[in-house]
């Protein structure tokens, strides 16, 4: 059986590229930010932190916080007609005005 080449971060060179001035350490403010249920957030990937990451196909999508699971948050987005729930670390979330 053929082995699949690559993985979750395959073909994401431009999508996961950081600005030159933003390279380096993570922002501790983004790492420790907290949300409450029904907050609106955007999925914005932080390339330097691999934990609690979602599939790159959903980069930039907007969702709603449904709950908390450990240090991560459960985010519900609408993909076409389906509702999907992701478990995302807060470093990959950006608060949206609702």
Please state the pTM of the whole predicted model: 0.88
Superfamily of domain 23-95: Ribosomal protein L21 (2.30.30.70)
Grouping H, G, I as helix, E, B as strand and the rest as coil, residue 7 is coil
Mean pLDDT in runs of 10 for the chain (98 residues)? 85 88 88 96 93 93 97 97 97 91
What's residue 98's pLDDT?
Answer: 67
For residues 85 and 12, give the distance between their C-alpha atoms in angstroms, rounded to a whole number.
22
What's residue 26's pLDDT?
Answer: 87
What's residue 86's pLDDT?
Answer: 97
For residues 8 and 42, give the distance between their C-alpha atoms in angstroms, rounded to a whole number.
20
Question: How many helices, marked H, and strands, marked E, lie in the chain?
Answer: 1, 5
């Amino acid at each position: 059986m053929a082995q699949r080449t690559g993985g979750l971060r395959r073909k994401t060179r431009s999508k996961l590229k950081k600005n030159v001035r933003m390279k380096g350490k993570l922002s501790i403010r983004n790492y420790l930010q907290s949300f409450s249920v029904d907050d609106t957030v955007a999925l914005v990937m932080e390339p330097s932190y691999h934990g609690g990451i979602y599939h790159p196909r959903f980069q930039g999508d907007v969702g709603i916080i449904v709950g908390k699971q450990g240090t991560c948050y459960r985010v519900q987005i609408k993909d076409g007609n389906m509702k999907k729930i992701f478990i995302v670390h807060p470093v990959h979330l950006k608060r949206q005005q609702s």
